[in-house]
C-alpha cells in the first residue's frame, strides 16, 4: 500500500484523485484545496479528505467543511505527491516544497521536461519511472500521440517520418476565459514533436498546432511515411484493436458526435480516457498512411498518472498495472461500448 496525495484539485486533479481513491494498492491521503467553493462542497460530500492552507482553515469551517489538516501535513503524510497545479506552478512546488521535504512527485504536461528525471507514457515507457523521484506525465496531446505511434513502432521498423497537424481545443468546458472566439491561431513546428521524443526517443516527427474556438476535444491529423508499403486499412485496424487505451471508431464524423455518445452512454463527466482512432479517416496509399484521432483532453492522462504512481513505487509490472488501472476506470467497458456505438 502506497500513500498518495493530489496537490491541485482542478480539471486533472479531481479526476486523478477519484481514480487513485479506487485503487486497491493506493491509500489516497487527500487533496489540497485552496478556495472554499462549490468544488470543495462536492468533494466533501464524496468523503474526500481536504487539506487547506492554514490561513484558509476558518473559511472552510465557515462553509461546513472541517479540513483534515494543512497542505503541508498532507504532503508530509504521503509517499508520492501527484502535482496537478496550473502550468509552471508544479516546478515552483518542486523547488519550494517537494525537494526540501525529500518527497517523490509526479508532474503534469504543463511543466517543462526538465522538471522531472523522465517523461512518462504507460504504453511506451512504463519501466522508466521505476524508483524515480520525479516523473512527468506528458500532456494530453502527447499522450494521445504516444498511444498511436508506439504500437506502430512495435509493428514496423521502416517508419521514415511522421507529420501531425493538431487542432487543439481552445479551452476546457469549465474554463470561462478560453482562447480567441472568432479566430484559429497556429504555431508551426510546435513543441509537441519534441514532447513525443521525450518519451519515444529521437523519432522523425514534425508537428503544427492550431488552436480552435471549441472545448470538446483535440483532433489530430497524422501522416506517416514508410520506406516500404504503408500498412493497409485492415493492418491498421488489427494493430489498434489490440490496444486497450485506443478506441477504434468506424463511423464517427465529428467531435460533437463522439461527445454525445459519451453522454448517452452515461460516462461520468463524459470522460472517455481513451484516444479515439477514426477508422473512416484511414487512407493507405503507396508508402503513406494518414489517419485522424480525437483526444479527450480532460481525461486521457488520468490512467497515466495512476500507472506512474505504481511504476515509481515498483508495485507492479507494466501489464499488471495497466490492467488494474483499466479495471478501476472501466476502460474495457468504455472501449467496447464506444466501439459498438460507432461500429
Ligand atoms: P486547473 O486550473 O483546472 O486546476 C489547477 C488547480 O490547482 C486549481 O484547483 C488551483 O486552485 C490549484 N492550484 C493553484 N495554485 C496551486 C499550487 N501552487 N499548488 C497546487 N495547486 C494549485 O488546471 P488543469 O487543467 O487541471 O491542469 C493541471 C496540469 O495538468 C497542467 O500542467 C496542465 O497543463 C496539465 N494538463 C491539463 C489538461 C487539460 O486539458 N486541462 C490535460 C492534460 C494535462
pLDDT digits (tens, 9 = 90+) for 76-100: 999 999 999 999 999 999 999 999 9
Task: Show me where the domains of the chain are located.
Answer: 2-137+302-327, 140-299+332-341
What gap in Å lies between CA 76 and CA 31, rounded to an integer? Answer: 13
Nearest to 149 by CA among 234, 206, 104: 206
Is the CB–ligand 1 distance for residue 175 below 6 Å?
Answer: no
Query: Which residues are marked as active site?
Result: 140
Is the CB–ligand 1 distance for residue 39 below 6 Å?
Answer: no
Q: What is the pLDDT of residue 178?
A: 83
- The CATH number of domain 2-137+302-327, selected from 3.40.50.170, 3.40.50.300, 3.40.50.720, 3.30.70.330: 3.40.50.720
Q: Is the pLDDT of residue 179 over 90?
A: no
* Homologous superfamily in CATH for domain 140-299+332-341: Dihydrodipicolinate Reductase; domain 2 (3.30.360.10)
Is the CB–ligand 1 distance for residue 201 below 6 Å?
Answer: no
**pLDDT confidence tier of residue 291, bands split at 50, 70 and 90:** very high
Nearest to 51 by CA among 76, 80, 82, 30: 30
**pLDDT confidence tier of residue 61, bands split at 50, 70 and 90:** very high
For residue 10, the ligand 1 atom closest to its alpha carbon is 4
End-to-end CA distance of the chain: 40
Mean pLDDT of 308-335: 98
Amino acid at each position: 500500500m502506497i500513500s498518495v496525495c493530489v496537490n491541485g484539485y482542478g480539471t486533472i486533479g479531481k479526476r486523478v484523485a477519484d481514480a487513485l481513491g479506487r485503487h486497491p494498492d493506493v491509500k489516497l491521503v487527500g487533496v489540497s484545496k485552496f478556495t472554499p467553493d462549490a468544488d470543495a462542497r462536492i468533494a466533501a460530500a464524496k468523503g474526500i479528505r481536504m487539506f487547506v492552507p492554514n490561513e484558509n482553515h476558518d473559511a472552510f469551517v465557515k462553509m461546513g467543511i472541517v479540513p483534515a489538516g494543512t497542505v503541508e501535513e498532507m504532503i508530509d503524510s504521503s509517499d508520492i505527491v501527484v502535482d496537478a497545479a496550473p502550468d509552471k506552478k508544479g516546478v515552483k512546488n518542486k523547488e519550494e516544497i517537494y525537494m526540501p521535504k525529500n518527497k517523490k512527485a509526479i508532474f503534469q504536461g504543463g511543466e517543462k521536461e526538465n522538471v522531472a528525471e523522465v517523461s512518462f507514457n504507460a504504453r511506451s515507457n512504463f519501466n522508466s519511472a521505476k524508483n524515480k523521484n520525479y516523473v512527468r506525465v506528458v500532456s494530453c496531446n502527447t499522450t494521445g500521440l504516444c498511444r498511436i505511434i508506439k504500437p506502430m513502432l512495435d509493428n514496423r521498423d521502416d517508419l521514415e517520418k511522421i507529420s501531425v497537424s493538431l487542432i487543439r481545443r481552445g479551452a476546457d468546458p469549465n474554463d470561462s476565459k478560453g482562447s480567441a472566439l472568432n479566430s484559429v491561431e497556429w504555431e508551426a513546428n510546435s513543441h509537441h514533436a519534441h514532447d513525443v521524443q521525450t518519451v519515444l526517443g529521437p523519432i522523425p516527427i514534425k508537428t503544427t498546432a492550431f488552436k480552435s474556438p471549441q472545448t470538446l476535444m483535440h483532433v489530430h491529423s497524422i501522416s506517416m511515411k514508410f520506406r516500404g508499403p504503408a500498412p493497409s486499412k485492415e493492418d491498421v485496424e488489427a494493430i489498434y484493436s489490440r490496444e486497450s487505451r485506443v478506441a477504434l471508431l468506424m463511423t464517427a464524423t465529428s467531435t460533437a458526435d463522439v461527445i454525445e455518445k459519451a453522454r448517452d452512454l452515461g460516462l461520468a463527466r463524459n470522460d472517455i480516457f481513451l484516444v479515439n482512432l477514426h477508422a473512416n479517416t484511414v487512407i493507405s496509399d503507396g508508402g503513406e498512411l494518414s489517419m485522424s484521432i480525437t483526444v479527450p483532453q480532460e481525461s486521457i492522462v488520468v490512467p497515466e498518472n495512476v500507472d506512474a504512481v505504481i511504476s515509481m513505487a515498483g508495485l507492479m509490472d507494466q501489464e499488471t498495472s495497466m490492467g488494474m488501472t483499466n479495471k478501476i476506470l472501466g476502460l474495457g467497458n468504455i472501449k467496447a461500448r464506444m466501439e459498438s456505438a460507432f461500429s
